[in-house]
Amino acid sequence: MPGRSLPPLAQEVLGTVYLLLPLLGGALVHGLCMRNGWLAFLARPMDGDRGFRGQPLFGHSKTFRGPLTVALGAGAVWAFQQQVLHRAEAFAALELVDFASLPGFWFGAAAGAAGELAELPNSFVKRRLGVKPGGTARGPLGVLFYLWDQLDVLSGFGCVVAAAVPPTPVRVATAVLVVGGVHPLLTLAGYLLGMRPTAR
């Protein structure tokens, strides 16, 4: 198994961070498409502007372009890790399992799409409470939704990846801490760079 030269805890932590890189690729491709207007024909609300009890199902920010572009970006990074980086000893040492034995581009793409689609329940609940896209609730609900905002994409991505890379308590905790810490910073950076309409 790759990575035996690393201490066990370092292997688990660094390997988990390495496993999350496709999410970054998905966010980058999605952000570039939003900033430059690429694939604009897919920038249509997934709910078709349909509502439920006087509010949109998901809102105008959840479009068909999101899952597709995140899937493309995540799949590309996953394939790059598997086909290119795997051949470099330094990167192979980070792998939690032998990447060469894992499914290819389609698997990374499926994980990326699942991560993006996992945001829909969050959006649905927010619309029911009258919270606008990019807006926040107040009080305890605000805290709950803030945490949900940071981790919903991880839940979808992780459910797919877990089929190939068995989760452990250390891997799950590392993923939660990394995504929970990095996601709001990336969201803010995306807003400042014109890659997304809101800072949240």
Residue pLDDT, tens place only, 132-171: 877 778 888 888 998 999 899 999 999 999 999 999 999 9
What's the pLDDT at 53? 83
User: For residues 33 and 166, what is the distance between their CA atoms, to the nearest angstrom?
Assistant: 33
User: For residues 31 and 53, what is the distance between their CA atoms, to the nearest angstrom?
Assistant: 31
The residue among 191, 188, 177 whose CA lies nearest residue 17 is: 177
The residue ranges of every structural domain in the chain are 8-192
Tell me the Ramachandran region of residue 29: left when phi exceeds 0, alpha when psi lies from -120 to 50, beta otherwise. Answer: alpha
The residue among 149, 156, 193, 148 whose CA lies nearest residue 30 is: 193
> Which two tokens mark 7?
């201490």
- Average predicted confidence (pLDDT) for the chain: 93
Are the C-beta atoms of 179 and 153 separated by less than 8 Å? yes
Residues 72-86 pLDDT 10s = 999 999 999 999 999
User: For residues 89 and 151, what is the distance between their CA atoms, to the nearest angstrom?
Assistant: 31
User: For residues 58 and 55, what is the distance between their CA atoms, to the nearest angstrom?
Assistant: 9
Phi, psi of 51 (to 5 degrees): -120, 175
pTM of the predicted model, to two decimals?
0.92
> Which two tokens mark 78?
């996953």
